[in-house]
Structure 1
Amino acid sequence: MNFNFQEFIKEYKQRLADVFSTEEEKHEDSLVRGIKPATFNQIMELAPLGAFIPSKYDGFGGHTSEALSMLEASSYESLPLSLMMGINGALFLQPVANYGSEEAKTGIYDRVMHDRRMGGLMITEPDYGSDALKMQTSFTKVDGKYKIEGLKHWAGLTGMADYWLMTARGKDKNGNLTRDISFFIHDTRNGGIEVQEYYNNLGLYMLPYGKNKINIQVDESHKLEPSSTGITMMLDLLHRSRLQFPGMGMGFLRRMLDEAIDHCKERFVGGQSLFNYDQVKSRLSELQAYFTVCSAMCNFTGSTVPLERNTSKMDLEANSIKSVVTDFMQRASQSLLQLTGAKGYRLDHIAGRSVVDSRPFQIFEGSNDILYQQISESVMKMMRRVKSSNLYDFLSEFDLTIKSSDYFKDALNFEIDTKMPQRKLVDLGKALGRIISMEFTINLGEQGFNKELVDNAVKTLQDEVNSIMCLFKHGGEASVVEDYQIESSWFNLQTVHAE
């Protein structure tokens, strides 16, 4: 197709600005769940999901940087909309591109591009959230079709998606579930998915979530074919998605920064603009740092993770990017709320709405606490492989930290304890994630990005890492008192005076 992405993105930004200026600024739909059909059609008329689809199938080309740019444009106006696009792209369209049959791709992409259809992913189960490898949804092959049964929940676009990428485990000859995981493409026109309950999700009102009973049949042509194992395919899918989180974060952080600057310049307290107060400048400088680091992450993903690259072994990059950028998103929304004050503490204000909508990003697709632990474990595994025990010595020669580690010679110059407690693994992972993010940021500066913004971001990351490492080395000793009710009433310690 004859396509110019720059023309598309310009028109898409204007369309979203028009749509959300009428719906959000007038606060008509801030508490309404779902998305109006008219609004959905206005947005999807421009086929934004084409950014994830190869040109062979009438898409825009499937270029990662263009997909990130579309997500950025979406999240500037609406974080839930950007998540909707991200679910469709990273968790459905891209896996189909890499692992789907030609028959499946042709039919799906045609409907997505021309009929405004959507797809989602079902992995999570009520009893097996973070422990996805123990999912109980199973499949058996009967008469050339795969029969899949189980229970799934917290799938974004529940009851709304036209296609589902469904995960399940096979059975051995004894009827026991096998270890590996398979992926199947289900067309909802074939029925078999019953929404048992819609959840009253705290935020992200645009996206329906719920509990789904699965009893479907899928043709052989609609089973994804991994290059090695299904688990490796799932890692590729999840890592690729996490690597693209900065696309959703980018527009959101820019919006938080714009809103904060505008408010602080217009708001006067004590006879002067909020913008002139030192503590306000501290918050604004942090917002600018988050914006810059996220830009660096987008630059990394856009330039090093093309659609065809297998990301199954990019756990360190993916986990660092996802956890750090989502922490920054939540902090940015909290700062905007603090700056706007009482009027921001409303669900129909951009600040209050953003605090609630950005919070689950730290939880879904890998809880940040778990990802930080995995970052530490990944680094320690690599250190063992090269027989290195000093953290700084290793990081100073590691390609993801070779420049940034120089900023932390003293903080990182110690021998790693391979048996450190979990809370220490999490703390160390937080620091490592930010050191890796600093490397991306330094690289961004070397490519010509605004030097003042890069210098500011590096200083902010330095402060964060030094603070985290101080806690890592000297804190974290508190334990849980199980029988805390014993001798723990403050009122019993009061001196009671008889009248």
Structure 2
Amino acid sequence: MTDVVHPSSPADLLDIESEFSAAELAVRDRVREFADRRIRPNIARWFGDGVFPREIVPELGELGLLGMHLDGYGCAGRSAVEYGLACQELEAGDSGIRTFVSVQGSLVMSAIHKHGSPAQQEEWLPRLARGEAIGCFGLTEPGAGSDPASMTTRARLVGGEWVIDGAKRWIGLASIADVAVIWAKVSDDDAAASPAASARTSAVVPDGSRRERVRGFLVPTSSAGFTATPIEPKLSMRASIQCDVVLRSVRVPEDAILPENPGLRGPFACLDEARYGIVWGSVGAARDAFEAALTYAGERVQFGVPVASHQLTQEKLVNMALEISKGQLMALRIGRLKDAGRLEAHMISAGKLNNARMAIEVCRTARTVLGGNGVTLDHSPLRHANNLESVRTYEGTDEVHTLILGRHLTGIQAFR
């Protein structure tokens, strides 16, 4: 008989781990070791104090985790599944740390990699990959969260410079960032007058009026008129930074505009990358909460026996493990499709909706296994559940992803 090799997590009821290659598992194990060594011993303090550990940013760069799914410019060029596993292990440590990697790599670096000019790519991507520079992604506004098409931030071409006015909200890392990818509306007249904006954006609607389109700009955060203020107090994502950003007549050079993919498809392509990371990351948070509950249930004695010996507790543990296994299978399927170039937008919505919803329920259930002790920062489930309130909301709420899937099923747009 051959020896049976058991999965590394008791939540893996179906030996899904055997579906990963040796290279994929090596990435997972390297990031897991980092989380065990640098995140878990410190996260209760970081979360309790509301501190983002900026000192670990260069370490994340050394591990190749910043823009790790991108090619060139010092990026690691890893597969989608490898990137997913890295997100999973980081979020098992804390959602705030995984969010940093997603903002830096999936949003900021992806925007520059997908839509930037060669000069912009050479200037920023190597530094961002090494963690020598930090970026933020300014799309969401105080009055335009789920509906970015209604944004009010605008950029005008004045004397060979872009002048940007507007406000953004819930912008991760903005107060410590070196560069901001700011999305603003630009008239086609101004775009047509800018060589860097590309004449392809010039278009006339039937009544002869000019359109406005959403365009991206690289804005140094040291620019006059750029202000970022951390949002406090928060009950979620406390080991992370989210900010209000105000832009008052911020002037940037004419070539600060991202020349490629004008329109909302520009930021949406980046959001899909971030949503993909959430599909995996939320599984990590759920797994960590489950393992904390399982360990506690085996050690905590009530009524003369371990809590794990009670039928109701076993039912909770079984249901949590089942949901985590299903979420892991969904993440793996989506990752394989992405690596094969066959992933469609509605599939990412299915994964984000299901796995974020699953994870928050698992973490809440895990907290009940811990009883009153579960409301302290000595244990991870409630911290994960609080973080997942944000994860479930950003990069598209449940409602938004439900309507994306509804549109896919019916062919009917129900947003408006």
TM above 0.5: yes
Shift of 1:178: 4.1
Shift of 1:195: 2.3
- Secondary structure (helix, strand or coil) at the match of 1:153 reads strand
Q: Kindly provide the CA deviation profile for residues 450-493 of structure 1, in whole angstroms up to 9, marking residues without a partner as x.
A: xxxxxxxxxxxxxxxxxxxxxxxxxxxxxxxxxxxxxxxxxxxx
1:66 counterpart residue number: 82
Please tell me whether the aligned partners of residues 61 and 130 of structure 2 are also in contact (alpha carbons under 8 angstroms).
no
Q: Distance in 2 between matches of 1:173 and 1:142?
A: 12
1:225 to 245, 259, 272: 259
Root-mean-square deviation (Å) = 2.9
1:429-468 residue pairs with structure 2 within 5 A? none
Cα distance 1:114–1:82, how it changes in 2: closer, same or farther (>3 A)? closer
2:107 counterpart residue number: 91
Q: Distance in 1 between matches of 2:391 and 2:77?
A: 27
2:356 counterpart residue number: 326
Cα distance 1:338–1:205, how it changes in 2: closer, same or farther (>3 A)? same
Shift of 1:169: 0.4
1:362-381 residue pairs with structure 2 within 5 A? 362-381=392-411
Cα distance 1:43–1:98, how it changes in 2: closer, same or farther (>3 A)? closer
- Secondary structure (helix, strand or coil) at the match of 2:385 reads helix
Q: Kindly provide the CA deviation profile for residues 256-280 of structure 1, in whole angstroms up to 9, marking residues without a partner as x.
A: 2211211122122223322232222
Any unmatched runs of 5+ in structure 2? Answer: 1-22, 191-208
Q: Distance in 1 between matches of 2:269 and 2:46?
A: 37
Shift of 1:220: 4.3
Mean Cα deviation higher: 282-291 or 72-81: 282-291
2:18 counterpart residue number: none
Shift of 1:327: 0.5
Please tell me whether the aligned partners of residues 164 and 188 of structure 1 are also in contact (alpha carbons under 8 angstroms).
yes
Larger Rg: 1
Between Structure 1 and Structure 2, how many residues are aligned?
Answer: 374
2:126 to 110, 115, 121: 110
2:235 to 187, 202, 209: 202
Shift of 1:372: 1.4
Please tell me whether the aligned partners of residues 135 and 174 of structure 2 are also in contact (alpha carbons under 8 angstroms).
no
Please tell me whether the aligned partners of residues 136 and 150 of structure 1 are also in contact (alpha carbons under 8 angstroms).
yes
Cα distance 1:172–1:230, how it changes in 2: closer, same or farther (>3 A)? closer
Cα distance 1:62–1:179, how it changes in 2: closer, same or farther (>3 A)? farther
Please tell me whether the aligned partners of residues 120 and 157 of structure 1 are also in contact (alpha carbons under 8 angstroms).
yes
Q: Kindly provide the CA deviation profile for residues 233-260 of structure 1, in whole angstroms up to 9, marking residues without a partner as x.
A: 3332223322331221132122122112
1:147 counterpart residue number: 163
Please tell me whether the aligned partners of residues 133 and 179 of structure 1 are also in contact (alpha carbons under 8 angstroms).
no
2:347 counterpart residue number: 317
Please tell me whether the aligned partners of residues 230 and 243 of structure 2 are also in contact (alpha carbons under 8 angstroms).
yes
1:76-475 residue pairs with structure 2 within 5 A? 76-171=92-187, 178-196=211-229, 198-215=231-248, 216-227=250-261, 229-306=262-339, 314-381=344-411
Q: Distance in 1 between matches of 2:305 and 2:286?
A: 26
Q: Kindly provide the CA deviation profile for residues 133-157 of structure 1, in whole angstroms up to 9, marking residues without a partner as x.
A: 0100001123443221111111111
Amino acid at match of 2:277: Q
- Secondary structure (helix, strand or coil) at the match of 1:48 reads coil
- Secondary structure (helix, strand or coil) at the match of 1:154 reads strand
Please tell me whether the aligned partners of residues 169 and 178 of structure 1 are also in contact (alpha carbons under 8 angstroms).
no
1:398 counterpart residue number: none
Q: Distance in 2 between matches of 1:235 and 1:211?
A: 21
Tell me which of the two structures has the higher relative contact order, counting C-alpha pairs closer than 8 angstroms and 6 or more residues apart: 2
Amino acid at match of 1:381: G
Please tell me whether the aligned partners of residues 299 and 306 of structure 2 are also in contact (alpha carbons under 8 angstroms).
yes
Please tell me whether the aligned partners of residues 84 and 207 of structure 1 are also in contact (alpha carbons under 8 angstroms).
yes
1:34 counterpart residue number: 51
Please tell me whether the aligned partners of residues 53 and 61 of structure 1 are also in contact (alpha carbons under 8 angstroms).
yes
Q: Distance in 2 between matches of 1:276 and 1:356?
A: 28
Please tell me whether the aligned partners of residues 230 and 241 of structure 2 are also in contact (alpha carbons under 8 angstroms).
no
Q: Distance in 2 between matches of 1:303 and 1:244?
A: 13
- Secondary structure (helix, strand or coil) at the match of 2:218 reads strand
Cα distance 1:114–1:322, how it changes in 2: closer, same or farther (>3 A)? closer
- Secondary structure (helix, strand or coil) at the match of 1:107 reads helix
